[in-house]
Amino acid sequence: MDLLHILSNIFFDAPFDFTAVFGLLYIVGLWGLFKKSNIKSWWALVPVAREYQLARCAGRESEGRVYSVVSMLLILLNVTTSLLSYRLMDTSSLDSLVLASLVFTVVLIMIHFIYHIRIWSGLIQVYNVRRRWMWLCLFSYTKWIPALVWGFSDKYQPAWQIEDFKAEMARLATHGSATVMDEGLTVNLEERSARDFFQKKVLLRDIHMSIPQGHMVLLLGGSGAGKTTYLNAINGYEKAKAEVLLNGSNMYTQYKKMQYEVGFVPQSEMMRGKDTVLNTLLDAAKLRLPQDVSAAQRRERVNEVMDIFGLQPVKNNLVEKLSGGQKKRLSISMEFLSNPSLFILDEPDSGLDGVMARELFQQLRKIADSGKIVIVITHTPDRVIDLFDDVIVLAKDSARTGRLAFYGSIGDAREFFGCERMEQIVKAVNRKEEGGDGLADEFVLKYAEVQHG
Average pLDDT of the segment spanning 323-351: 86
pLDDT at 313 over 80: yes
- Confidence (pLDDT) at 6: 45
pLDDT class for 406, splitting at 50, 70, 90?
very high
Q: State percent of the chain over pLDDT 90.
A: 26
Q: Which among 324, 331, 388, 390 has a CA at the least distance from the CA of 357?
A: 324
- d(Cα 166, Cα 56) in Å, to the nearest integer? 14
Burial grade of 106 (CB within 10 A; 0-12, 13-18, 19 or more): exposed
- Average per-residue pLDDT for the chain: 83
β-pair type (249-250, 241-246): antiparallel
pLDDT at 7: 45
CATH of domain 166-261+340-451: 3.40.50.300
Task: Say if strands 241-246 and 342-346 run parallel, antiparallel, or are unpaired.
Answer: unpaired
Query: Band of the pLDDT at 164, cuts 50, 70, 90?
Result: low
Using a pLDDT cut of 70, give the percent of the chain over it: 85
Residue 112's Cα: distance from chain center in Å?
25
State the pLDDT confidence band at 10, using cuts at 50, 70 and 90.
very low
pLDDT 10s digits, 271-284: 787 889 888 898 88
∠ CA 168-203-422, nearest 5°, is: 85
Q: So where are the chain's domains?
A: 3-157, 166-261+340-451
Structure confidence by residue, pLDDT tens digits, 359-371: 889 989 999 999 9
Whether pLDDT at 90 is above 70: no
Report pLDDT digits (tens) over 167-196: 555 554 544 577 776 788 999 988 887 766
- pLDDT tens per residue across span 184-236: 899 998 888 776 665 667 788 889 999 999 999 999 988 788 898 999 888 88
pLDDT at residue 156 above 60?
Answer: yes
pLDDT beyond 90 at 393: yes
**pLDDT higher than threshold 60 for residue 88:** no
Phi and psi at residue 243, to the nearest 5°:
-120, 120
pLDDT bucket at 9, cuts 50 / 70 / 90: very low
Burial letters 36-66, b for 16+ CB under 10 A, else e = bbbbebebbeeebbbbbbbbbbbbbbebbbb
Residue 254 has pLDDT above 80, yes or no: yes
pLDDT number for residue 384: 92
Residues 345 and 59: their CA atoms lie apart, in Å, by 33
Distance, in Å, from the CA atom of 356 to the CA atom of 186, rounded to the nearest integer, reads 32
Rounded distance, CA 181 to CA 244, Å?
11
pLDDT, average across residues 405-419: 94
Pair 403, 169: CB distance under 8 Å: yes
**pLDDT number for residue 264:** 87
> What DSSP designation does 265 have?
E
pLDDT of residue 1: 45
Q: What pLDDT does residue 160 have?
A: 67
Residues β-bridged to residue 188? 208, 243
**Mean pLDDT, rounded, for 31-50:** 89
Which whole-number Å values give the CA distances from 2 to 8, 108, 143, 277, in the listed order? 10, 19, 16, 64
Stated pTM of the model: 0.68
Q: For 428-437, what is each residue's pLDDT tens digit?
A: 988 877 778 8
Question: Looking at per-residue confidence, does 269 or 333 come out higher?
Answer: 333
Number of H helices, E strands in the chain: 17, 10
**pLDDT of 102 over the 70 cut:** yes
Q: For residue 11, is pLDDT > 50?
A: no
Give the confidence band of 60 by pLDDT, cuts at 50, 70, 90.
confident
284, containing H or E segment: helix 277-288
**Residues near 248 by beta carbon (within 8 Å), at least 6 away in sequence:** 180, 181, 182, 183
